[in-house]
Amino acid sequence: MGRGDPRKRAPRRGADLRLLRRLWPFVRPQGGLLLASLALLLGTSAAALATTWVLKLAIERHFETDTGAGLGVLLAWFCVLALLEVVGRALGTWTVDVAGQNALLRLRSTLFRHLQALSSAFHDRTPTGRLVGRVTTDIEALQEMFSSGVVTILADLIFLCATVVLLFSLQWKLTLAVLVVVPLLVGLTLWMRVRVRAAYAKMIDSRSRLNAFLHEHIVGMAVVQMFTRERRARTGFDGISGDMRDAQLRSVWWESALSASTEKLSHLTIALILAYGGALLLDAPAATGLTLGALFAFIDYMRKFFVPLNDLSLKVTVLQSAMTAAERIFDLLDRDDFLPEPASPIVPPRTRGAIAFDGVTFGYDPAEPVLRGVSFQVACGERVAIVGATGGGKTTLLKLLTRLYDVQEGSITLDGVDVRELPLSELRSRIGIVPQDVFLFGGDVLHNVRLGHPEISEAEARAAADRLHLDEVVKRFPLGYAEPVRERGANLSSGERQLIAFARVLAVAPAVLALDEATSQVDSQSEHLLQTALHELTSGRTSLIIAHRLSTVRDVDRILVIERGRLIEEGTHEELLREGGAYARLHELQFDENG
């Protein structure tokens, strides 16, 4: 409310309708439940109104003037209605929430699938945190809208209208008087609520600053201490914590005022009813149709009137933030940065694994090509290493081969078929890739070897791992293959992570291997293990290796040298050294690094 962007406010009404239409496919399957809950909530409201009416009748007939019989019947009615109210309220709340949970389960799943399908180019541009927020925070906001949203608001509005009609039928003058004064008081509370929200927003802001400061200083405490900055850090923290306290105090002030004023509001309304209604009653009870029971009912109705009225302003803000969330969600669902699947896909019967790059030009920003007219061929079963300075475009070659991006000029073929003609999943399942930054998922070691391939049996996965001597590493883990891997493999060394990634590829046994060697330093034991594993992995398999290690380079059939996006040299290790060109220079530098 208070912090909404005024420029965005104007076209909002139309946008809201459009958003509701977009939401409809997710809501419609829950239509039955929603209708049921609306009916339940309306029934509950009717019961709540009727109980007070029964009480009024009981008071008029049996307490003001004793007419004797019939009280039992009225009280029986009271019991039935009260029971209906209890059951109706519980069931109504429940069904609304079930409907919401069901609808959002589908929406969340759809959104996640959409994110998976979006192209790498999209993901390169978009910060992860923002997308995570769409799937979690924004969906939660929509959830709120369901549980305290449209249906309940509708039910509340109907209830409020029904109450007003009932009150008018009871005594129209008194109702009119109450309805003139009440809005003023309600307006005051609404205004306070806006202030509460504004203060709260400030508080949230200062809290996230506190969190950021705290996290950084806990992680970097050794640095703080090393540079003896403890006192300054404390002063900094005191300041930020004090800011948060002050923001909290402001919101406490408004909250306190609001909670007291809500109570005051209901007391003042009672006073008004008593004063004006009582005067009317004393003047001419017969003409006004007022009784003590009616006054009591009036007070009781107004009490029930205030509950949804107070909630309503809260619910409207919930609705507003839900609409903002829905807007963001559908904006994301509208993104269609997909790589096109081929219109008439070609599926060659068996991958033999011949690769050809033909005049490939590509840039993440088309204005700045990373690769310029690169052409080369890799025969079946050939092992080819790619070397060159960082930033020369080596990794990009692999990304194009697996079609994370499409070439801008030229073509890439696998066994003579353009990669754009192959179905994406077909292409990618034929190429085993080991990225430079081995990415492990939460789960155990074996899970990471099998990763999403249920058709690979545990024995097969273990066999693949054993062939690469992963078992030698794994036996050092307390739980062996069942050792849990923390998010992103944080509890494993880089050598261990690589071996797992190798095993992952070997288990799938693709005809083509595309490998981006890690640059990070590993100790000589791991180095030896990795080289043996690499040899095993590449034997008899078309391999394209971005190489950083001398031993790897010496082991391959052919070496390609890429510099500034161009293929500048090609040949065996000995040939290239003899030529004394770029490779020889690179090699000298490598020697320095290792020697």
Stretch 85-104 residues interacting with other proteins (CB under 8 A): 85-87, 89-91, 93-94, 97-98, 101-102
Asked whether the beta carbons of 144 and 317 are under 8 A apart, the reply is no
SS3 per-residue string spanning 369-401: CCEEEEEEEECCCCEEEEECCCCCCHHHHHHHH
Residue 147 makes contact with other proteins by CB under 8 A: yes
Q: How far is the CB of 258 from other proteins (least distance, A)?
A: 9
Minimal CA–CA distance to 370: which of 384, 391, 385?
A: 391
Q: Are 433 and 402 in contact (CB under 8 A)?
A: yes
82 is a contact residue toward other proteins (CB under 8 A): yes
Binding to other proteins (CB under 8 A) within 119-138 occurs at: 120, 123, 128, 131-132, 135-136
**Least distance from other proteins to the Cβ atom of residue 163, Å:** 17
- Least Å distance, CB 268 to other proteins, is 6
How far, in Å, CA of 19 to CA of 27, rounded? Answer: 12
Size of the site for other proteins (CB under 8 A): 141
> Which residues in 39-78 contact other proteins (CB under 8 A)?
51, 55, 58-59, 62-64, 66, 71, 75, 78
Nearer to other proteins, 8 or 234 (CB): 234
Select 6 or 204, whichever has its Cβ closest to other proteins. Answer: 204
Kindly report the CA angle at 253 between 247 and 258, in degrees rounded to 5? 130
C-beta closer to other proteins: residue 24 or 227: 227
- The yes or no reply on residue 274 touching other proteins (CB under 8 A) is yes
Q: How far apart are CA 151 and CA 47, in angstroms?
A: 18
Q: According to CB under 8 A, which residues from 416 to 475 bind other proteins?
A: 425, 428-429, 431, 433, 435, 439, 441-442, 451-453
Indicate whether 577 belongs to the interface with other proteins (CB under 8 A).
yes
In the complex with other proteins, the residue whose CB is nearer, 218 or 367, is 218
Binders of other proteins in range 239-258 (CB under 8 A): 241-242, 244-245, 248-249, 252-253, 255-257
Determine the Cα–Cα distance for residues 551 and 387; give it in Å rounded to an integer: 13
Q: Least distance to other proteins from the beta carbon of 442, Å?
A: 7
Residue from 3, 14, 69, 116 in contact with other proteins (CB under 8 A): 116
149-178 b/e (C-beta count within 10 Å ≥ 16 → b) = bbbbbebbebbbeebeebbeebbeebbebb
Q: Which is nearer to other proteins, 41 or 326 (CB)?
A: 41
- By CB under 8 A, what part of segment 370-409 binds other proteins? 390, 399, 402, 404
How many of the other CB atoms lie within 10 Å of CB of 32? 11
We find the least distance from the C-beta atom of residue 121 to other proteins, in angstroms, to be: 11
The distance of closest approach from Cβ of residue 172 to other proteins in the complex, given in angstroms and rounded to an integer, is: 20
Q: C-alpha 161: how far from its chain's center?
A: 39
Contact status: 230 vs other proteins (CB under 8 A)? yes
Phi–psi pair at 338, nearest 5 degrees: -100, 155
Query: Of 18 and 335, which has the nearer Cβ to other proteins?
Result: 335
CB 384 to other proteins: min, Å: 19
The span from the CA of 264 to the CA of 261, in Å, is 5
Q: What region, left, alpha or beta, does residue 199 occupy, with left being phi > 0 and alpha being psi -120 to 50 degrees?
A: alpha
215 binding other proteins? (CB under 8 A): yes
Bridge-based pairing state of the strands 558-563 and 383-387: parallel
- Kindly state the tokens that stand for 73: 């019947």
N-to-C CA span, the chain: 66
Interface with other proteins, residue 222, by CB under 8 A: yes
